[in-house]
Amino acid sequence: MVRKMLGAVFVLLALLATPASAASPLTNVSQQLICQCGCNMTVANCTHQDCMSAPAMRTLIQQKLDQGLSEEQVVQYFVTEYGEQVLASPPKKGLNLVAWILPFAVIIAGAIIVYLALKKWVFQGRTSQVEVKTEAEEDDEKYRLRLEQELKQFGERGYR
Amino acid sequence: MADIGYIALLLALVASLYSATAFVFGKRRNIPALVDSARNGVVAVCGLVSIAVLALLYAILTHDFQIEYVASYTARDMSLTYLLSAIWAGNDGSLLFWAWLLALFGMIVVLQRRDVGRELVPYASTIVMVTEVFFLFLLLSVANPFHKLSFLPADGRGLNPLLENPGMLFHPPNLLGGYVGFTIPFAFAMSALLTRRLGDEWIVSIRRWTLVSWLLLSIGNIIGAWWAYVELGWGGYWAWDPVENASLLPWLTGTAFLHSIMMQRRRGILKKWNMVLVIITFSLSIFGTFLTRSGILSSVHTFADTTLGPFFLVFIGVTLFSSLGLLYYRSELLNSEAEMESLVSRESTFLMNNLFLVGAAFAVFLGEIFPLISEAVRGVKITVGAPFYNQVNGPIFLAIIFLAGVCALIGWRRSSVSNLMRNFLWPLAIALVIGSALIILGVRQPYAVFAFTVCAFVLTTILYEWFRGTRARRRMRGDNYLKAFFGLLGANRPRYGGYTVHIGLVLIAIGVIGSSFYNVEKEATLLPGESMSIKNYTLTYENKDTFQTETRQVDSATLSVFNGGKLLGKIVPSKYYSVSYEQSVTEVAIRSTPAEDLYAILIGWDDAGATSFKILVNPLVSWIWIGGIVLVLGGLIAFWPERRKLPVEIRVEARETVGSVSNKKSGNGINKVRSSSEARRG
Amino acid sequence: MTVFAVIVLTAAAFAFIAYPFFKQRGYSAVSTGDQKSRELLSRRDTTYSMLKELEFDYQSGILTEEDYRDLEARYKRKAISILKDADDLEKGSEAEEGIEAEIRRLRRTGTKQAGDEVEQAVAKLRRVGKNQAGDQVEEAVSKLRQTRGKFCPQCGTAAKADDRFCASCGAKLR
pLDDT tens column, A2-53: 455 545 544 444 444 344 445 678 888 888 888 877 677 788 877 666 677 7
pLDDT greater than 90 at residue A71:
no
What's residue B465's pLDDT? 87
A10 in the same domain as A73: yes
Chain A residues with beta carbon closer than 8 angstroms to that of C76: 144, 147
In residues, how long is chain A? 160
Q: Does B382 touch chain A (CB under 8 A)?
A: yes
Question: In the Cβ-directed half-sphere of B332, how many Cα atoms lie within 13 Å?
Answer: 1
Domain boundary among A32, A54, A86: A86
pLDDT digits (tens, 9 = 90+) for B249-266: 999 999 999 999 988 888
Mean per-residue pLDDT for B514-520?
89
Q: Note whether C17 contacts B199, CB cutoff 8 Å.
A: no
B196 φ, ψ to 5°?
60, 20
CB C149 within 8 A of CB C158: yes
What's residue B24's pLDDT? 95
A113 in the same domain as A59: no
Q: Does A122 touch chain C (CB under 8 A)?
A: no
Mean per-residue pLDDT for B516-543?
89
- Running DSSP on this structure, what letter comes out for residue B230? I
Query: Which residues on neighbouring strands pair with residue B546, listed in sequence order?
Result: B555
Please identify among residues 629-668 of chain B the ones whose CB lies closer than 8 Å to any CB of chain C.
Answer: 650, 654, 658-663, 665-667
pLDDT greater than 90 at residue C110:
no
A40 in the same domain as A73: yes
A74 in the same domain as A27: yes
Q: Which residues contact A134 (CB under 8 A, 6 or more apart)?
A: A140, C77
pLDDT greater than 90 at residue B358:
yes
pLDDT digits (tens, 9 = 90+) for C13-57: 999 999 888 876 655 544 445 667 777 777 888 888 888 888 888
Average predicted confidence (pLDDT) for chain B: 86
Query: Which residues on neighbouring strands pair with residue B540, listed in sequence order?
Result: B531, B560
What percentage of chain B reaches a pLDDT higher than 90? 52
Instruction: State the Cα–Cα distance between residues C45 and A158, nearest whole angstrom.
Output: 9
Q: Does C20 touch chain B (CB under 8 A)?
A: yes
pLDDT greater than 70 at residue C165:
no
- B331 vs B676, residue with greater confidence: B331
B614 φ, ψ to 5°?
-120, 125
Q: Note whether A99 contacts B370, CB cutoff 8 Å.
A: yes
Domain containing residue A32: CATH number: 1.10.8.640
A103 in the same domain as A79: no
Q: Which of B43, B662, B680 sits opposite C41 (nearest CB)?
A: B662
What is the sign, positive or negative, of the torsion defined by CA atoms of B346, B348, B350, B353? Answer: negative
Q: Note whether B385 contacts A106, CB cutoff 8 Å.
A: no
pLDDT greater than 90 at residue B536:
no
Is residue A44 domain-resident?
Answer: yes
What's residue B681's pLDDT? 32
Give B441-510 as a DSSP string: HT---HHHHHHHHHHHHHHHHHHHHHHHHHHHHHHHH---HHHHHHHHHHHTHHHHHHHHHHHHHHHHHH
Q: Note whether B586 contacts A86, CB cutoff 8 Å.
A: no
Q: Residue B483: count other Cβ atoms within 10 Å of its Cβ.
A: 14
- A10 vs C87, residue with greater confidence: C87
Chain B residues with beta carbon closer than 8 angstroms to that of A147: none
Is residue A71 domain-resident?
Answer: yes
Q: Does A55 touch chain B (CB under 8 A)?
A: no
Please identify among residues 202-241 of chain B the ones whose CB lies closer than 8 Å to any CB of chain C.
Answer: 204
Q: Which of B36, B199, B201 sits opposite C28 (nearest CB)?
A: B36
Is residue C69 domain-resident?
Answer: yes
What percentage of chain C reaches a pLDDT higher than 70? 47
Domain boundary among A66, A86, A106: A86
Element (H, E) at B582: none
pLDDT digits (tens, 9 = 90+) for A115-130: 998 888 888 777 765 5
Q: Which chains touch B (3 or more CB pairs under 8 A)?
A: A, C
Q: Which of C34, C62, C158 sits opposite B666 (nearest CB)?
A: C34
Is residue A112 domain-resident?
Answer: yes
Chain A residues with beta carbon closer than 8 angstroms to that of B374: 90, 95-96
Q: Does A154 touch chain C (CB under 8 A)?
A: yes
Q: Which of B122, B204, B265 sits opposite C30 (nearest CB)?
A: B122
pLDDT digits (tens, 9 = 90+) for B132-161: 999 999 999 988 999 999 999 988 888 888
CB A37 within 8 A of CB A56: no
Q: Residue B510: count other Cβ atoms within 10 Å of its Cβ.
A: 22
Chain A residues with beta carbon closer than 8 angstroms to that of B395: 9, 12-13, 15-16
What's residue A136's pLDDT? 52
Mean per-residue pLDDT for B327-335?
89
Is residue A127 domain-resident?
Answer: yes
Q: Does A147 touch chain C (CB under 8 A)?
A: yes
Is residue C88 domain-resident?
Answer: yes
pLDDT digits (tens, 9 = 90+) for A130-150: 555 555 556 677 778 888 878
- A8 vs B377, residue with greater confidence: B377
Domains: count for chain A: 2
Is residue C47 domain-resident?
Answer: yes
Work out the minimum CA distance from B639 to partner chain A, whole angstroms: 10
Q: How large is the ipTM? A: 0.83
What's residue A137's pLDDT? 58
Strand, helix or coil for residue B544: strand
Work out the minimum CA distance from C125 to partner chain A, whole angstroms: 29
**Distance between alpha carbon B476 and the CA centroid of its chain, in Å?**
39
Q: Which chains touch C (3 or more CB pairs under 8 A)?
A: A, B
pLDDT greater than 60 at residue B658:
no
Name the residue in chain C with its Cα closest to that of B467: C60
What's residue B556's pLDDT? 92
Between strands B566-571 and B552-563, the pairing is antiparallel
What's residue C40's pLDDT? 79
What's residue C126's pLDDT? 59
Q: Note whether B336 contacts A121, CB cutoff 8 Å.
A: yes
Is residue C65 domain-resident?
Answer: yes
pLDDT greater than 70 at residue B278:
yes
Q: Which of B378, B383, B446 sits opposite A88 (nearest CB)?
A: B383
Mean per-residue pLDDT for C84-92?
77
Q: Note whether B352 contacts A5, CB cutoff 8 Å.
A: yes
A78 in the same domain as A7: yes
Chain C residues with beta carbon closer than 8 angstroms to that of A140: 80
Domain that holds residue C58: 35-159
A121 in the same domain as A74: no
pLDDT greater than 60 at residue B275:
yes
CB C83 within 8 A of CB B499: no
A102 in the same domain as A81: no
- A39 vs B46, residue with greater confidence: B46
Q: Does C139 touch chain B (CB under 8 A)?
A: yes
Please identify among residues 6-35 of chain A the ones whose CB lies closer than 8 Å to any CB of chain B.
Answer: 8-9, 12-13, 15-16, 18-20, 22-23, 27, 31-32, 34
Is residue A159 domain-resident?
Answer: no
What's residue C60's pLDDT? 79
Q: Note whether C49 contacts A158, CB cutoff 8 Å.
A: yes
pLDDT digits (tens, 9 = 90+) for B209-232: 999 999 999 999 999 999 999 988
Domains: count for chain C: 1
- Write down the H helix ranges in A17-136: 25-32, 53-66, 71-82, 96-131
Domain that holds residue A62: 2-86
Helix axes B121-140, B91-111, angle to 10 degrees: 160
Q: Note whether A114 contacts B351, CB cutoff 8 Å.
A: yes
Q: Note whether A132 contacts C79, CB cutoff 8 Å.
A: no
Domain boundary among A86, A110, A140: A86
Please identify among residues 57-86 of chain C the ones whose CB lies closer than 8 Å to any CB of chain B.
Answer: 57, 59-64, 66-67, 71, 74, 83, 86
Is residue A78 domain-resident?
Answer: yes
Q: Residue A120: count other Cβ atoms within 10 Å of its Cβ.
A: 13
Name the residue in chain A with its Cα closest to that of C70: A129
- How big is the B-C interface in CB pairs under 8 Å? 206
Three-class secondary structure assignment of chain C: CHHHHHHHHHHHHHHHHHHHHHCCCCCCCCCCCCHHHHHHHHHHHHHHHHHHHHHHHHHCCCCCHHHHHHHHHHHHHHHHHHHHHHHHHHHHHHHHHHHHHHHHHHHHHCCCCHHHHHHHHHHHHHHHCCHHHHHHHHHHHHHHHHHCCEECCCCCCEECCCCCECCCCCCECC
Least confident of A1-15, B395-409, B456-470, B566-580: A1-15
pLDDT digits (tens, 9 = 90+) for A59-70: 888 888 888 888
Instruction: State the Cα–Cα distance between residues B600 and B219, nearest whole angstrom.
Output: 26
pLDDT digits (tens, 9 = 90+) for B3-41: 899 999 999 999 999 999 999 999 898 888 899 999 999
Chain C residues with beta carbon closer than 8 angstroms to that of A142: none
What's residue C124's pLDDT? 63
CB B378 within 8 A of CB A99: no
Q: Note whether B352 contacts A47, CB cutoff 8 Å.
A: no
pLDDT greater than 50 at residue C147:
no
Work out the minimum CA distance from A119 to partner chain C, whole angstroms: 19
Chain C residues with beta carbon closer than 8 angstroms to that of A146: 83
Q: Which of B392, B402, B583 sits opposite A100 (nearest CB)?
A: B392
Mean per-residue pLDDT for B367-376?
87
Is residue C169 domain-resident?
Answer: no
Q: Report the residue of B66, B200, B337, B661 to disrupt the C interface, i.e. the one with the largest count of C CBs within 10 Å.
A: B661
Q: Does A143 touch chain C (CB under 8 A)?
A: yes
pLDDT greater than 80 at residue B292:
no
Is residue A74 domain-resident?
Answer: yes
Radius of gyration of chain A measured on its C-alpha atoms? 30
